[in-house]
Chain A
Amino acid sequence: MTDRQDAFQTLAQKYEAETGIQVNFELYAPSEQYSQKVRAAAQGQNLPDIFGILSEKKDFSSFIKSGHIADLTPELEKNNCAWKETFFPNALRVNEFKSDDAYGVKPGIYGIPIDVMTIEMLYNKNLLEKAGLDPEKPPATWAEFIAVGKKLKELGIQGLVSGWGEIWMIDCFASNYAFNIMGKDKMLSTIRGEVAYTDPDWIKVLSLFEQMRDAGIPAVGLLTMINKTAEQVFANEKAAFAFNGSWCVNVYEGMNPNLDYAAILPPAASDQYPMMVWGGAGSSFVINDRSGEKEIAIEFLKWFTARDQQIFLANKTKNLPANKDALEGIPTILAQFADDMEYATHPSIWGVSEFPVVTEALDKGIQSIILGEKTPLQVASEVQKIKERELARKK
């Protein structure tokens, strides 16, 4: 987020010139530090007028229940939903709570997206060509991906890099394939505790990591890589594939402007269900419900997400705009990310949340599979055991 400081500041100055209202942006990195800061501010009841929530949907709901976040539905639906209609529907859904979800929050939309993102598979065209492959025909199926990985390995080219030292990205990769192999309903039933992680479909999902390992696809150090390192390795053309979000366009531009790459959906492991990718709102702003400047803050967000400002932001920060009328003039690579927005999903819109300890066990288990320490069945059994313990505790 801090890479957007200049662009935000420019817009703040423009807003002040137009309205006389001064807006001060304070951006923090890394995101964990920001999350702690917002949490501490909430405990001290001194949150700013506008802020962002980077945590999971469950935490988002706790902020709402504590009275820290305003319901923006009435504003969005004013004038026949004029403001609401400007956004990509997927981007708004991330900030929406429904009556039938598990969070117990009054139904409504509580946040405004300022950009959108998808997390996809990227490939380096030059390295694929070096391996004797057609750079315009990247692997579309899992079998093709494994075959390409083996070929790259033979040529001494590293396969996949990603920030799998930060385990949430493994979670993201695994859930993409869970959607692809078992479909949305079964995937969500697992989270609800109705399907076990030892189900054959989950074993299939976990086995994909074993197959990747056996094909030599994971780059050296994949499991100790933070995403910034993974981005450096891919930008320096030391790996053929990267699993990364659309925010990377700006990062790669800064690291290696000549990098020739493309974004695709992760190669499908099954043709039974569509491949889904995490996406939707990239960053969202919420309004402090206790703020004395609530109305002014809402007016600012309306201005900030209007077409002109969104075009400016998209061009300056190379992030996909949340306003669907602001896509003109975006780079080709960003357009590729935007094209797959219809396949975007996100834990925030599932209506149910997995227990964090279960997610952690699954992600660490996948790391162990890649390291060759555990089998998919072992990991599935361990995760299921923890799941059952948490379900029993919840009862």
Chain B
Amino acid sequence: MRIKSNLENYFFIMPAVVIFTVFYIIPFLWVAHLSLCDWDGILPTKTFVGLQNFKEIIIQDPSWWQSMWNAGYITLIALTLQNALAFLLALACDREIKMKNFYRVIFFIPPVLSEIVVGMVWRFIINDVDGANMINRGLTAMGFGQFAQSWLNNPKTALTTVALVHSWKGFGWGFLIFLAGLQTIPKELYEAARVDGASAWDYFKRVAIPLMVPVIVLVAILTVLGTMQAFALILGLVGGEFAGHTSVPVLRILAVMRDSSRFGYACAQGIGFGAILVAISFIQYRLSKRYRNA
């Protein structure tokens, strides 16, 4: 009877197991296998090269590490500027302000737009080659003409411009999650803090922030995962890697696969990149756990 019951249970989860195996486990194992091969993506034969692809990534591929550095820089701006903005706006909308539902909708529009469309729209706003160059016009009109420049075509400003546009596009997700988190804080705590004479800053520092740590960690992990994998926005904004200045890991993987026809090497890059992201997420999780326990 018990065996029958167990079989029935397994039968019910079977579709999910099959789907997960076919669409996640097998492709992952296939990619892992290809990462150990030299293969051009067309020939039926694949040459097993062991860990050679990984060795090449670590020792002989500076363009890969430059792309990692660039992605790290964009992620740093997203973690700080983007998430700070999202948190502040969530705090504002958590209060009883006028038209707060309207703001919620407005703030959530950028994340739902296509990355490539956002890239092209911002290219139009910023660029002076094929766009309206509204930023420079605005700067000049306000008397700051000396700061006007070719934002996307200057190696010194291109990556920061990409990072800022990415933050504009991404802050809505953080805003929504932070807002949901803030709304779970009981109002009684706020009232008790006020009765005890706590200022708004004290409440923010000693009540809201500690209670929001799990949410902040979640947003931070999602930000890292989302930002490190960004690429379509960059294609829309600068058309590609711009002599390596706007190169990011996914663009490198695509370039290796498409331009060099090195599928095995691209798979190794993908596996290595995935491992780095998992490691970062794990470290973030452990640090937040330690902070909460403390």
Docked-complex contact B243 and A36, CB < 8 angstroms: no
- Across the interface, which residues of B come within 8 angstroms of A55, CB to CB? 261
Taking CB as reference atom, which chain B residue is nearest A31? Answer: B258
Docked-complex contact B155 and A221, CB < 8 angstroms: no
Cα A167 to Cα B243 in complex, Å, equals: 9
Docked-complex contact A229 and B260, CB < 8 angstroms: no
- Across the interface, which residues of A come within 8 angstroms of B241, CB to CB? 364
Please tell me which stretch of B40-48, B219-227, B280-288 contacts chain A, meaning at least 4 of its Cβ atoms lie within 8 angstroms of it: B40-48
Shortest distance between the CB of B135 and any CB in chain A (Å): 14
Shortest distance between the CB of B156 and any CB in chain A (Å): 10
A356 and B243 contact, Cβ closer than 8 Å, known pairs A62-B42, A165-B238, A220-B150:
no
Shortest distance between the CB of B49 and any CB in chain A (Å): 10
Cα A220 to Cα B152 in complex, Å, equals: 10
Shortest distance between the CB of A170 and any CB in chain B (Å): 10
- Across the interface, which residues of B come within 8 angstroms of A68, CB to CB? 42
Taking CB as reference atom, which chain B residue is nearest A361? Answer: B63
Docked-complex contact A62 and B43, CB < 8 angstroms: yes
Cα A359 to Cα B257 in complex, Å, equals: 15
Docked-complex contact A220 and B261, CB < 8 angstroms: no
Q: Chain A contact residues: over half helix, strand or loop, or mixed?
A: helix
Taking CB as reference atom, which chain B residue is nearest A374? Answer: B243
Judge if A273 is at the interface, Cβ distance under 8 Å.
no
- Across the interface, which residues of A come within 8 angstroms of B94, CB to CB? none
Docked-complex contact B261 and A58, CB < 8 angstroms: yes
What 1/0 mask marks residues of chain A from 222 to 236 whose CB sits below 8 Å from any chain B CB?
A: 111110010011000
What 1/0 mask marks residues of chain A from 145 to 171 whose CB sits below 8 Å from any chain B CB?
A: 000000000000000000001110000
Q: How many A-B residue pairs have CB under 8 A?
A: 88
Judge if A1 is at the interface, Cβ distance under 8 Å.
no
Q: Count residues on chain A whose CB falls below 8 Å from chain B CBs.
A: 39
- Across the interface, which residues of A come within 8 angstroms of B129, CB to CB? 219-221, 224-225, 229, 233
- Across the interface, which residues of B come within 8 angstroms of A189, CB to CB? none
Judge if A81 is at the interface, Cβ distance under 8 Å.
no
Docked-complex contact A35 and B60, CB < 8 angstroms: no
Docked-complex contact B240 and A389, CB < 8 angstroms: no
A42 and B42 contact, Cβ closer than 8 Å, known pairs A224-B239, A233-B129:
yes
Q: Among the listed A62, A65, A233, which residue makes an inter-chain contact with B130, where contact means beta carbons less than 8 Å apart?
A: A233
Q: Among the listed A35, A66, A165, A220, which residue makes an inter-chain contact with B44, where contact means beta carbons less than 8 Å apart?
A: A66
Judge if B153 is at the interface, Cβ distance under 8 Å.
yes
A39 and B42 contact, Cβ closer than 8 Å, known pairs A220-B129, A220-B150:
yes
Q: Chain B contact residues: over half helix, strand or loop, or mixed?
A: loop
- Across the interface, which residues of A come within 8 angstroms of B243, CB to CB? 223, 364, 367-368, 371, 373
Which A residues from 39 to 67 make CB contacts under 8 A with B?
39, 42-43, 55-56, 58-59, 62-63, 65-66
Cα A357 to Cα B240 in complex, Å, equals: 16
Docked-complex contact B240 and A39, CB < 8 angstroms: no
Judge if B255 is at the interface, Cβ distance under 8 Å.
yes
Shortest distance between the CB of A372 and any CB in chain B (Å): 9
Taking CB as reference atom, which chain B residue is nearest A232? Answer: B130
Taking CB as reference atom, which chain B residue is nearest A239? Answer: B129
In the assembled complex, 7 residue pairs joining A and B whose CB atoms fall closer than 8 Å, in A order, are: A43-B41, A66-B44, A221-B127, A224-B238, A224-B239, A225-B239, A364-B243
- 11 A-B pairs besides A62-B42, A226-B239, A360-B63 with CB distance below 8 A are A32-B258, A35-B258, A66-B43, A66-B44, A165-B242, A221-B129, A221-B130, A221-B152, A224-B152, A360-B255, A373-B243
Q: Which 10 A-B pairs have the closest CB atoms?
A: A165-B239, A221-B129, A356-B260, A367-B243, A62-B42, A221-B153, A224-B238, A226-B239, A62-B43, A229-B130
